[in-house]
Amino acid sequence: MRGRRCPRMRRNVERRSAGFAIMAGPGAEGGAAEAEAAPPPIQGLQLVQQGAEARLYRGQFLGRPTVMKLRFPKRYRHPLLDERLSRRRTAQEARSLLRCRRAGISAPVVYFVDYVSNCIYLEDIVGSTTVRDFIISVQQSGKDASCLILLAEKIGEILARMHDEDLVHGDLTTSNMLLQPPPEKLELVLIDFGLSFISALPEDKGVDLYVLEKAFLSTHPNTEALFEVLLKKYSVASKKSAPVIKKLDEVRLRGRKRSMVG
């Protein structure tokens, strides 16, 4: 049993080292040393975010508003290994976005994938708001928060559909979910599939939900009831929810034991 988990554990470690949110606020801290004076790949693109694994540019591509994600070389890796990892992650992100759209899940359109420079050109969801900012705005306004319950149900339903397609996001946070304008319509778009992978294992899907739970509750305090609404909708909407929720409970227990040990 322990032997079977080793490949997945290595894969999880690799994914955690690569975190990068496509449309979430100002530049991240990681990878700054490799971003010095980096020119845009094509004219007219502007750097809007720097992550540990990639740079994010915004501009026009073939006359369309575009977000371009570029995975830059890592000097600490062997060049052949770095090229292989970057190409694989770029390809998997494109496949995951296409898989979402085929399943009826809103995700950015893939315009073009360049495997030479390891960059991907995506639809820019113009005027969108992150779910993170929307929840914070509603909480701070003091207005009726019933829309947040509807939003939680919408998220649960979409994640159920995604997991039923055996697609694991790998970095679920409220910053990696967008609301198309106007945000009150709650038209959700999933973004940043750079850490995604295909898996039918309930444990991988349970870990996906656990990552979201930890991010959700740390970013939005006192929203435990809201997240339970999300999980309840997920359980109803997913055809494979029972083993996933069971694994989520097991992952939670492991997390609590780890916290107690320190």
Which residues are identified as catalytic? 171
Q: Do residues 37 and 94 lie in contact, with contact meaning Cβ atoms separated by under 8 Å?
A: no
Q: How far apart are CA 96 and CA 109, in angstroms?
A: 11
Report how far Cα 36 is from the mean position of its chain's Cα atoms.
26
Query: What are the tokens at 260?
Result: 């107690």
CA terminus-to-terminus distance, the chain: 25
* Torsion over CA: 226, 159, 96, 131 (sign): negative
Q: How far apart are CA 113 and CA 230, in angstroms?
A: 34
Binning the chain into helix, strand and coil, the percentages to the nearest 5 are 50, 15, 35
